Amino acid sequence: MISSKIAKIKTKLLTKSNFFLAGIIILGFLLSLPSFSLFFTHDDFFHFKIAQVSSTKDFLNFFSPTHAPENWAHYRPLTTQVFYAIGRYFFNFHPFPMRLLSFSFFVLTIILIKKIISLLTEDDFLALISSFFYATSATNFSKIYFLATQELGLAVFFLLSTLFFIKFLLKKNKNYYWLALLTFVISLTAKETAAVLPAILLLTSVFLKNAKKTTVKFSTTILYLIPFSIILAIYSYLHIFKYGLPKGNSYIYDFSPRILNTTFWYLLWSLNIPEMLVDFVGPGFHFLPALFKYYSNEIIPILTVFILQSLLLFLSAIILFFKRNFYVKSVIFSIIWFMITLFPVIFLPWHKFTIYLTLPMFSISFFLALIAKGLKQIKSTWSNILIITFSLVFSILSIMTSRLTYKTNWIVQGAKTAKRVNLYLQQELKNKENIKEIVFYDTPEDENLPWKPSQVLKTVLSDNNFFEVFYNGKPKAVYTNTKPKKKYKNQLLLKARQFLGY
């Protein structure tokens, strides 16, 4: 009896589809491999600070919808306080197991994308190639390399809720409905942008109804979504009026036509254009000279491959248009998914980053897969060549963009800088328990640098949060533009630039 069940499980797991999925996951792992050697940086130290817990009550307070820790107006207890508490108390501040845990959520995201698209379309090819495009996208860089992002936790519970709701509509099993509701609540503790989930569930139900895959009436689906809406209304009230909203120069909402520019950039990034390019493009899509002065060896090949990718995409779309094999309803579904999941950040032109493409990339990957599927149905050797060529070009462009991002991105450079500081201080403070203050200062040679080394260190180490986490607040750090004229007995004076690697 048991052996027959094991045999059935093996048969189910050892399918051609799962082998391809395993290969996609391995490819995603290889692309993410350099991230596993990185230290912490920036917000990591603040998150460790607010993840301190000494009792069950402290742990439960993480989830308080009315108390913002340290005036941090982001309600993300599961992916911030809980995640960093695990790193603090179970992993003893070692970054590798935390990165491994984070990457496991990336793997779950890929698997969930495959499962959701399989249920929506009943097409393994579409599901697998969507997973491929998602796993190899350059937009994955920030959410994998930066532990402080909450996107992967959000993606897993967001997609789980979607998956359970789809299964409920298909199988009419109420257990799936309650699981969908539960994972929706959990997703709200992962990140605020989970608020768009009810709209996605409505979109998904319409898609299934149009595809005649469910007999659940639209009016009935609306009734089932009422509990989701009530939970969202309560959550929104508490977050806005009790917990508080984020403030800062970048959190400025702009409801002007600028949203077209913001949307355009998110579309470019979703097709593997480097995120840093936004800083080198002026009005009228004019490239600033500094881009080619400092990064010509990387950016020229990237733009060349991007043009090739765009031509292949355009050519494929033209072929499908004339052959009339394009899936209109699926394309509309992917476009609406993209806009719904991007909606929470689309009005923030000064706060746009590739990490916000975590959920929208589901639709981009699906869209690209639809083009590949359309080409596949055209019984021609050229169509297969186009599919393979486009997939290779997409992957190559992603690798090139990821390599440039690794070289220039503040996440990588910050992690390397923080690691240098940590290793230095571990040796320097070993026999100097009397040091109460560390002064990081700039020198006259630093005057021509675009950023003051002391201020770079202050940002990387999150001011004194690094010292509070790793040294219990002793010593304190001071960041100054000039070397102190007098050195006190309990002070340690350090040139800031020595830790920056240049």
The string of pLDDT tens digits covering residues 105-152 is 999 999 999 999 999 999 999 999 999 999 999 999 999 999 999 999
pLDDT of residue 322: 66
Lowest mean pLDDT among 108-112, 195-199, 240-244: 240-244
Lowest mean pLDDT among 2-11, 184-193, 257-266, 489-498: 2-11
φ, ψ at 376 (rounded to 5°)? -65, -35
The alpha helices in 288-349, defined as continuous H runs, are 289-323, 328-346
pLDDT of residue 231: 97
CA distance 156 to 179: 13
Instruction: Put residue 501 in one of left, alpha, beta given phi > 0 → left and psi -120 to 50 → alpha.
Output: left
**pLDDT, tens digit (0-9, with 9 covering 90-100), for 322-366:** 665 557 888 899 999 999 999 999 998 888 999 999 999 999 999
pLDDT band for position 502 (50/70/90)? confident
Alpha-carbon separation of residue 383 from 129, 354, 378 (angstroms): 15, 31, 7
**pLDDT, tens digit (0-9, with 9 covering 90-100), for 74-111:** 999 999 999 999 999 999 999 999 999 999 999 999 99
Find the mean pLDDT for residues 302-308: 96
> For residue 287, what are the β-bridge partners?
281
Coil, strand or helix at 429 = coil
Q: What is the DSSP letter of 227?
A: H
- Global pTM value: 0.93
Higher local confidence (pLDDT), 8 or 274: 274
CA distance 110 to 32: 14
Higher local confidence (pLDDT), 6 or 332: 332
Check whether 9 has a pLDDT greater than 70.
Answer: no
- Look at strands 286-287 and 437-441 and give their pairing: unpaired
Q: What is the mean pLDDT of the chain?
A: 91
Check whether 13 has a pLDDT greater than 80.
Answer: no
Answer positive or negative: Cα dihedral of 323, 327, 332, 334. negative
Please give the structure tokens belonging to residue 140: 């994955």
Q: Which residues, including other chains, have CB under 8 Å from residue 481's CB and lie 6 or more apart?
A: 441, 442, 452, 454
Winning range, highest mean pLDDT, from 33-37, 326-330, 498-502: 33-37
pLDDT band for position 374 (50/70/90)? confident
Alpha-carbon separation of residue 164 from 175, 192, 204, 498 (angstroms): 9, 20, 12, 52
pLDDT of residue 269: 97
Find the mean pLDDT for residues 357-383: 88
Find the mean pLDDT for residues 285-304: 90
Please give the structure tokens belonging to residue 78: 């599961």
Alpha-carbon separation of residue 1 from 4, 65, 136 (angstroms): 5, 49, 41
pLDDT of residue 4: 60
Higher local confidence (pLDDT), 12 or 380: 380
Higher local confidence (pLDDT), 323 or 161: 161
Q: Which residues, including other chains, have CB under 8 Å from residue 38's CB and lie 6 or more apart?
A: 95, 99, 145, 411, 412, 415, 416, 419
CA distance 61 to 327: 48
Alpha-carbon separation of residue 42 from 153, 196, 419 (angstroms): 19, 28, 12
Give the gyration radius of the chain's Cα atoms: 25
CA distance 320 to 328: 11
Coil, strand or helix at 274 = coil
Lowest mean pLDDT among 183-192, 317-326, 384-393: 317-326
Q: Which residues, including other chains, have CB under 8 Å from residue 230's CB and lie 6 or more apart?
A: none
Cβ-based burial of 347 (10 A; exposed 0-12, middle 13-18, buried ≥19): middle
pLDDT band for position 173 (50/70/90)? very high
Alpha-carbon separation of residue 94 from 38, 48, 196, 448 (angstroms): 10, 12, 34, 36
pLDDT band for position 433 (50/70/90)? confident
pLDDT band for position 501 (50/70/90)? confident
pLDDT of residue 421: 96
pLDDT of residue 479: 96
pLDDT band for position 180 (50/70/90)? very high
Find the mean pLDDT for residues 243-261: 84
pLDDT of residue 431: 75
Helix 381-408, helix 410-428: angle, nearest 10? 40
Check whether 283 has a pLDDT greater than 90.
Answer: no
Find the mean pLDDT for residues 19-40: 95
